[in-house]
Amino acid sequence: MTSDHFPDRIQSLPRYAGRFEAFQIANPDVDVLLASYPAGTAIEPHTHDTENCGVITQGELILITDGQEQRYKPGDWYHLPPNQVHAARFEVATSEIEFWFKSS
C-alpha cells in the first residue's frame, strides 16, 4: 500500500474496499476515508450518491467536472454535490482526507 506515510494508528483502521487505497472510518451519517493515490493514477468519470468534501494533505488532485480541470494542493478543500459526474487524475503521489456525507 502506498499510504505507508500515514501514522501507525491510522494504518490500523479498516481498509476501504473500493477503487483506491484508503483507511476508513464509518458511521451512519458519513464515511471518512484517508486515501492515497500513486503518481499516474486516473479515475474515470463516475458519480456518488453522497455529498463529498475533501482536503488534500500531500501532492495534488486534478478534479475534472463539467469538462473543466481544477487543481487542489495541500490544504485545499473541494466539494462535490451528490450525483455530480466527475473524474480525477494524480500526476504525483497524493493523499487526502475525504468525507462522504450520506443522504438524510
Q: Are 55 and 76 in contact (CB under 8 A)?
A: yes
Domains defined for the chain, CATH in brackets: 8-101 (2.60.120.10)
How far is Cα 54 from Cα 72, in angstroms, rounded to an integer?
10
* The model's pTM: 0.83
How far is Cα 19 from Cα 7, in angstroms, rounded to an integer?
22
- What is the pLDDT at residue 73? 98
- What is the pLDDT at residue 6? 77
pLDDT in tens, the chain (104 residues): 566 777 787 788 888 888 888 888 878 899 999 999 999 999 999 999 999 999 999 999 999 999 999 999 999 999 999 999 999 999 999 999 999 999 86
Backbone angles phi, psi at 50, to 5 degrees: -105, 160
Backbone angles phi, psi at 36, to 5 degrees: -130, 140
